[in-house]
Amino acid sequence: MTVHIGAKPGEIAETVLMPGDPLRAEWAAQTFLDDAVCVNRVRGMLGYTGTWKGHRVTIQGSGMGMPSLSIYANELLRDYGAKTLIRIGSCGAMQERIAIRDVIIAMTATTLSTPSRGIFRELNYAPCADYALLEAAVAAARTRDVGVHVGGIYSSDVFYDERPDLNDQMVRHGILGVEMEAAELYILAARHGARALAVLTVSDHLLTHEALPSDQRERSFGDMVEIALEAAFA
């Protein structure tokens, strides 16, 4: 048991999927895992452990933003022995060719700042995904009837962004989408010798201003969860 995760020793699997929304963690566990048991309710940040095709999996909410994710990822890696962390979440598309409901698999994560920035001092560390996970996720995605895009994303510090000039540069340099957690996840996994990946569903589009209605978001996220599970155990 840690400050933020109430699971007992042995209740967290080595493979953890991390949605930001704790209710999405509950939905994914109930939808995709067998014998799912709630192992964390601290601060309402739900976590469940069950099995997928015989493999133990934990699905643990991370909250919104890198500071929140950093708390949960640190404790999962340091105190519970997690070896593979895969973020499953939504993102906003930043390229015209990307459509709502498409899946983005994040190879790299550009950012202005992360909770880990202080330890790097003047160094601009380049957070990237684990290649084996990335390769397996791309293979899994291409067997499904879903648009898939692989490349760099932008992990933002803020949701209500007032820097259109910065977004213009992201678009200009080929960044596929924006979200708020992956860069810190990739850094922490590297620090602890673990594997990390972000598999994201496009829920909004920064250029066309399209957006999935809230009642359609969960139904559109199934492909993302299955891609993450298949990649974890490829």
Domain presence at residue 46: yes
Q: What is the pLDDT of residue 16?
A: 98
Taking 90 as the threshold, does the pLDDT of residue 215 lie above it?
no
Q: Reduced to 3 DSSP states, what percent helix, strand and coil does the chain have, rounded to the nearest 5? A: 35, 30, 40
| Mean pLDDT, residues 194-217 | 91
Supply the DSSP symbol for 146. Answer: S
The CA-to-CA distance between both ends of the chain, in Å, stands at: 30
pLDDT confidence of residue 116:
94
Instruction: Specify if 9 maps to a domain.
Output: no
Q: Residues annotated in the binding site for a purine D-ribonucleoside, as ranges?
A: 4, 179-181, 203-204
pLDDT over 70 at 219, yes or no: no
Q: Is residue 92 part of a domain?
A: yes
Q: pLDDT digit string (tens) for 57-110?
A: 999 999 999 999 999 999 999 999 999 999 999 999 999 999 999 999 999 999
The rounded distance, in Å, linking the Cα atoms of 230 and 214 is 26
Residue 137: which H helix or E strand, with range? Answer: helix 131-141
Catalytic residue of the set 21, 165, 204, 215 = 204
Q: What is the CATH number of the domain that holds 32?
A: 3.40.50.1580
pLDDT of residue 153: 98
204 among known catalytic residues: yes
The answer on pLDDT for 162 being more than 90 is no
Query: Quick one: residue 53, left, alpha or beta (phi over 0 = left, psi -120 to 50 = alpha)?
Result: left
Residue 5 lies in a domain: no
pLDDT for 175 beyond 80? yes
d(CA 151, CA 106): 5
Q: What is the pTM of this model?
A: 0.96
State residue 163's pLDDT score: 87
State the pLDDT at residue 218.
66
Strands (E), the chain: 15-18, 34-40, 47-52, 55-60, 84-93, 103-111, 148-155, 177-179, 195-205
Q: In the chain, how many domains are there?
A: 1
How does pLDDT run across 44-59, given as a tens digit for each residue?
Answer: 999 999 999 999 999 9
Binding residues: 4, 20, 24, 43, 87-90, 179-181, 203-204
Q: Average pLDDT of 164-193? A: 97
Domain of residue 134, residue span = 15-232
Q: Cα(111)–Cα(100) distance, rounded to whole angstroms?
A: 23
What are the binding residues for phosphate? 20, 24, 43, 87-90
- Whether 88 maps to a domain, the answer reads yes
Q: What is the mean pLDDT of residues 187-195?
A: 98
Chain CA centroid to CA 132, Å: 16
